[in-house]
Amino acid sequence: MSQRQQPPQSKPFSIVVIGGGIGGLCLALGLIRRGVPVQVYEQASEFGEIGQGVAFGPNSSRAMKLVDPAIQEAFIRLATHAAEEGSEGIGRTWINFRYGGDNTDMIAKIQTFDSNLTGLSSVHRARFMEELVKLVPEGIANFNKRFVSMKRLESGEIEVSFADGSTATADAVIGCDGIRSKVRQALLNRKSAEDDLSFSGTVAYRAIIPMEKAKEALGEGFAVNAQMFLAPGGHVLCYPIDHGKTVNVIASVNKGESWDHDGWVIKDAKYDDMKRDFVGWCDEVQSVISMIKDHTPDKWALFDTLPLPTFYKGNVALLGDSAHATLPHQGSGAGQAVEDALIMAEVLADVNTKTAADIPLAFKAYDAIRRPRSQKVVKTSRQAGEMYNFQGPYGHDLSKLRDDALSRFHWIWYEDMEVQTQRATSMLGDVIARL
């Protein structure tokens, strides 16, 4: 935890955040910076993240700075960039889309053209979480607190109950507890935390391999830059993390099968199954698959969230994956959680949010701004996966696929985060003015 001093608290209400992942911690840091009292309750014994590499686009970096400049500073310190830059330094490579069948011909070079030359800026999830934790002041985090239920008290406050028998009381609760959100289940009165989830049909083998091994498999030019190999029924993504020390590999395949396992991650997946799924792919992919064998690959079932009718009810709201878990095919899921954190922190800290009675109106503005954009990311990410697997409307037409890929990410990356914030606070002000 950090020795950072908390700014004076400027609001007469308190917020409970359930879940201490990237979204939950960014929200907490944004609220702390704006003087909004907050406590974070995490079910694990310490903050941490499952998964491996995570990428952030230009929009995400801008949102981090607006939430709390220290978040962006931590991201910049950790970020690994593609080695390639565009002509005359005006762009930086995000991903090279290549055919992955019997050759590795370039389909499309996707680049960012923002002023910071963001390109594919990737970090190791655990390292990034470690840096976020350092920013959290003492006395904010509460561990071993697994959410069970919540109820509204006569005072108007919300009492949250945890599995250890303890409770917490606050004026509002924000669920940042991931794709299988118990807060979402309670908020929307679902029978199961999985009721709003949809299996994509895709499974992904994930592993991290040393850069030297990756260079042997792919060649140095391929290994130090992000490559996406596409072929019928699947795609394989490789990109450097940890300042180029390692390469994150995600080998995805969609065979239209159901997922019948209790969990969504199978540790130490069977190598023979993985090898069978990529028979006939190019030599580079075959080499990568062979190297994954020695680095304990996990097999992940890829789910996303069905469109929710709302991200809030009363003084309870959802943020990040609990509201809009997305498939990884546009590299935008974590970034959407950061955008959520920015808008949520701004509307709760806004001058128009004076008392706890105003919180539902702040949540309403958050929902109106964030739900359409984040649900569009979910929808288009699923479509992107289908396109990468040649299962979309373009089929095997590489020319149409190229045209789509070259423009697909722009509406995500070049969102004006200041304008998005202004829209939310203006909407909140208009609603309150009409009361």
Q: Which sequence positions are flagged as catalytic?
A: 206
The CB-based long-range contact list for 126-130 (8 Å cut-off, 24+ gap) reads: 126/48, 126/49, 127/78, 127/242, 128/22, 128/49, 128/54, 128/74, 128/75, 128/78, 129/21, 129/22, 129/25, 129/47, 129/48, 129/49
Q: How far apart are CA 409 and CA 136, in angstroms?
A: 32
Question: How far, in Å, are 11, 311, 389, 424 from residue 360 at the CA level?
Answer: 15, 11, 42, 13
Per residue, what are the HEC states of the chain? CECCCCCCCCCCCCEEEECCCHHHHHHHHHHHHCCCCEEEECCCCCCCCCCCEEEECHHHHHHHHHHCHHHHHHHHHHCECCCCECHHHCCEEEEEEEECCCCCCEEEEEEECCCCCCCCEEEEHHHHHHHHHHHCECCCEECCCCEEEEEECCCCCEEEEECCCCEEEECEEEECCCCCCHHHHHHCCCCCCCCCEEEEEEEEEEEEEEHHHHHHHHCHHHHCCCEEEEECCEEEEEEEEHHHCEEEEEEEEECCCCCCCCCCEECCCCHHHHHHHCCCCCHHHHHHHHHHHHHCCEEEEEEEECCCCCCEECCEEECCHHHHCCCHHHCCHHHHHHHHHHHHHHHHHCCCCCCHHHHHHHHHHHHHHHHHHHHHHHHHHHHHHHHHCCCCCCCCCHHHHHHHHHHHCHHHHCCCHHHHHHHHHHHHHHHHHCC
